[in-house]
Amino acid sequence: MKAFRIHVHEAHPVTENVAMPQPGLGEVLVRVAAASLNPLDVKLQRGNMQSFFPLTFPYTLGTDLSGTVEVLGGQVTDWSIGDRIVARTAPTSGGALAEFALVPADQLVRLPEAITLDQAAGIPTAAGTAWQALFEVAHLRQGQTVLIHAGAGGVGSFAIQFARQAGACVIATASGRGIAIAERLGADIVIDYRNEDFVSRVRDVDVVLDTVGGETQARSYEVLRAGGFLASTVAPPDEALAKARGVGAAFVFHSSNAARLATVVEKVAGGVEVLTDRLLPVGDALQAFEHQSTGRARGKIILKSAS
Ligand SMILES: NC(=O)c1ccc[n+]([C@@H]2O[C@H](COP(=O)([O-])OP(=O)(O)OC[C@H]3O[C@@H](n4cnc5c(N)ncnc54)[C@H](OP(=O)(O)O)[C@@H]3O)[C@@H](O)[C@H]2O)c1
């Protein structure tokens, strides 16, 4: 089968012929229909995540995939050949950008008919992180106001929709074409961050979702109310600064979790949009990877299998 792999950090990923993986106990072999990229794949390729996710080479890129069950490993009883699924593999395992991928059976989520396999591939990491950050880390509630940075990004585009559905008032940052996108997804106010300083437009918000880091994170403390909360997916917030300002702050470390994935899959089946920057054939994986590396994607970059 074909797989999109790296042999060392920072090397250009290449598509190679490799042996078919065999499912072990508790594993399922999935025929991959589509896979999506995340900034994590770029960070893993660059070697920036070694302390969290040490890789063994060769490493097949990609954690987010959809497809059908092809072969059941030992002791797998809840699944049948041909079942439509969506899943996220562990970052250390990767493997989504291949014709077939091994997934632990307990990480599979059944795909409702209302969701296409292409859409499904865009869900796991971005939607799961948005959900975890807003509701499990920041405990966003109905009636609160949330500032979502990078509202047209993978995480931000899901976060806008989840927050709106939860009854929050949503302020988002975006630029260019992303402004109209963030408005369409349900943001009440969109700030063009390239032309306006968000700190001058926003005050007393309950929650900030930081998906940008750096200056954006540091300045976000200024817009929180006392007792507010900053959740960052990019870098651990400065705890001393948070304390000095009388707010809470935490890093969101997204963990694969089939129950959470099932929750966000239900949301998509109910109408939440999988904002798609581009849908490409898997043969264009290198081009897709390079686009992901720019940090300018507006939504998910999804690669569709040839078979
Ligand atoms: N900790 C975790 O477990 C976890 C999980 C998921 C993601 N993450 C991290 O979270 C970050 C976001 O992930 P993602 O998937 O949403 O990324 P993404 O889809 O690549 O985000 C791209 C978007 O960011 C916007 N953007 C860039 N700089 C901005 C700024 N200064 N202000 C506002 N928007 C800006 C871009 O809009 P413009 O082109 O208009 O600038 C673009 O639409 C990444 O660093 C990722 O690694 C961490």
What percentage of the chain carries pLDDT values higher than 90? 99
Residue pLDDT, tens place only, 241-290: 999 999 999 999 999 999 999 999 999 999 999 999 999 999 999 999 99
Residue nearest to atom 32 of ligand 1 (CA): 150
**What separation in Å is there between the alpha carbon of 255 and the centre of ligand 1?**
18
CATH 3.90.180.10 domain extents, the chain: 2-123+274-304
Residue 111 burial (CB < 10 Å; 0-12/13-18/19+)?
Answer: buried
Q: How far is the CA of 235 from the centre of ligand 1 (A)?
A: 12
- For residue 95 and ligand 1, the question of a CB distance below 6 A is answered with no
Q: Tokens at residue 183, please?
A: 């408005």
Nearest CA to ligand 1 atom 28: 212
* Tokens representing residue 67 in the block: 């497809």
Counting atoms of ligand 1 from 1, which one is nearest the CA of 298?
Answer: 43
Q: Is the peptide bond before 124 cis (omega within 30 degrees of 0)?
A: no
Is 276's C-beta closer than 6 angstroms to any atom of ligand 1?
A: no
CATH topology of domain 2-123+274-304: Quinone Oxidoreductase; Chain A, domain 1 (3.90.180)
The sign one gets for the Cα dihedral 98, 102, 107, 108 is: positive
Compute the distance between CA of residue 140 and CA of residue 206 in angstroms, rounded to an integer. 8
Q: What is the pLDDT of residue 285?
A: 98
Per-residue pLDDT of the chain (307 residues; tens, 9 = 90+): 999 999 999 999 999 999 999 999 999 999 999 999 999 999 999 999 999 999 999 999 999 999 999 999 999 999 999 999 999 999 999 999 999 999 999 999 999 999 999 999 999 999 999 999 999 999 999 999 999 999 999 999 999 999 999 999 999 999 999 999 999 999 999 999 999 999 999 999 999 999 999 999 999 999 999 999 999 999 999 999 999 999 999 999 999 999 999 999 999 999 999 999 999 999 999 999 999 999 999 999 999 998 6
- Tell me how far the alpha carbon of residue 121 lies from the centroid of ligand 1, in angstroms: 18
pLDDT of residue 306: 84
For the 126-251 domain, the top CATH level (class) is alpha beta
CATH 3.40.50.720-classified regions of the chain: 126-251
Give yes or no for residue 40 CB within 6 A of ligand 1.
Answer: yes
Q: Which atom of ligand 1 is nearest to the CA of 152?
A: 43
Phi-psi region of 191 (alpha: psi -120 to 50; beta: other; left: phi over 0): beta
Does the C-beta of 38 come closer than 6 Å to ligand 1?
Answer: yes
Q: What pLDDT, on a 0 to 100 scale, did the predictor assign at position 35?
A: 98
Atom of ligand 1 nearest to the CA of 43: 47
Does residue 5 line the site of ligand 1, with CB under 6 A? no
Find the 248 Cα to ligand 1 centroid distance in Å. Answer: 22
Q: Which residues pair with 306 in a beta bridge?
A: none
Question: By alpha-carbon position, which residue is closest to atom 3 of ligand 1?
Answer: 254
Tell me which residue has tokens 């589509």. Answer: 34
- If you measure from the C-alpha of residue 193 to the centroid of ligand 1, how many angstroms do you get, rounded to a whole number? 13
What is the tens place of the pLDDT at every residue in 26-48?
999 999 999 999 999 999 999 99
